[in-house]
Structure 1
């Protein structure tokens, strides 16, 4: 696969649209048999039940859910948890859909809660988002690109007693459009996972 787009991107929205089109051509069914055997944990309390607030954007969780990570961490979200969808920058909703829609819904709810609570490191929280997406049936390539997007451009915070490498997230601006496309194309072409995607993002933010 050619890993270079035919044009240089100077507009971030155009870049996101290009990547969205690129991912639309990647069928989930193309995953290897070995990949489908990987353990990505499990959810408890499904289906998740939420009630939208009057603004139509934020919501409250009506029944507790928990994501059990394959890495041994439990990620409980309590009844009444407030969710604002902001853990995934809105511009990427073109790729993912709204934060409470589709295969991403359960992962987005847990990710949103922990981005608000900030009780665990931002690195662990974003990696959990990747694994929870995969647990929900999101394909490898799309989950990795979305993980890369929130890792590079999503919220970051410091947590006492945990890792301290909390450089500011990169900015969603036109100057970063081309590098976003180049990295996304590399993730697709080389079938990269979250560890490699993190290194691509770190090259821009550390």
Structure 2
């Protein structure tokens, strides 16, 4: 059986009320950890606030929102890692891939989620800052129509995901990055 690492248990959280109506933030009520396959510990300490922003909102209709699915625990440690000034985003994204698998995601879903956070990293550094909203959500919606950028990112994720389906089960992170690199310049 493959070693994808393990979680310290289930996170204990509290929803935070946002007076503006977003209500996406959760605060950790106790320390929560993920230990990756190399035995590196990724902490999400008590009082950390997470909101799943590292999964671009533009991709939620494709991969799911941060609070559903077998990647919920992975999204918590990934959010905290992405907010840390001492963690390299790429390292956090690789950790997220393995944490998704440790949380119960299938291989293709884990690969797609990994592509989603890599697209998030790319878009945060490549798209004009005016596109970023105040609360770290990537894109604003106008009425119920997806904006051009959302459609673009969804298309990229779809292309990448289709190509990843053809990779062998033993494909490495470098193999996944090569597929992503053919579609994005990171």
Q: What TM bracket, shorter-length normalisation?
A: 0.7 to 0.9
Specify the SS of the correspondent of 2:52.
Answer: coil
Alignment counterpart, residue 87 of structure 2, candidates 95, 112, 120: 120
**CA-atom RMSD, angstroms?**
2.4
Distance 1:186 1:110 in 2: 27
CA gap 1:193/1:111 in 2 versus in 1, 3 angstroms? same
The match for 2:141 is none
CA gap 1:129/1:177 in 2 versus in 1, 3 angstroms? closer
CA gap 1:151/1:170 in 2 versus in 1, 3 angstroms? farther
TM-aligned CA deviation for residue 59 of structure 1: 1.1
Equivalences for 1:37-52 in 2 at 5 Å?
A: 37-44=1-8, 46-52=9-15
The match for 1:145 is 112
Higher relative contact order (CA 8 A, sep 6+): 1
Q: Please give the TM-score of this superposition, normalised by the length of structure 2.
A: 0.75
The match for 1:33 is none
Structure 1: give runs of 5+ residues left out of the alignment.
1-36, 158-167
Q: Please give the TM-score of this superposition, normalised by the length of structure 1.
A: 0.68
1:53 aligns with 2:16: yes
TM-aligned CA deviation for residue 177 of structure 1: 5.1
TM-aligned CA deviation for residue 107 of structure 1: 0.3
The match for 2:179 is 200
Give the number of aligned pairs: 159
- For each residue in 1:107-126, what CA deviation from the matched residue of structure 2 results, as whole angstroms up to 9, or x when unmatched? 01000111122321111100
Specify the SS of the correspondent of 2:110.
Answer: helix
The match for 1:189 is 166
1:104 aligns with 2:67: no
- For each residue in 1:155-190, what CA deviation from the matched residue of structure 2 results, as whole angstroms up to 9, or x when unmatched? 799xxxxxxxxxx35684545554432221111133
Distance 2:158 2:62 in 1: 13
Structure 2: give runs of 5+ residues left out of the alignment.
129-148
CA gap 1:67/1:169 in 2 versus in 1, 3 angstroms? farther
Higher mean C-alpha displacement, 116-125 vs 186-195: 186-195
Distance 1:100 1:173 in 2: 20
Specify the SS of the correspondent of 2:71.
Answer: helix
Q: Given that residues 58 and 154 in structure 2 are in contact (C-alpha distance below 8 angstroms), is that contact kept between their aligned partners in structure 1?
A: no
Equivalences for 1:86-101 in 2 at 5 Å?
A: 86-101=53-68
Distance 2:121 2:49 in 1: 18
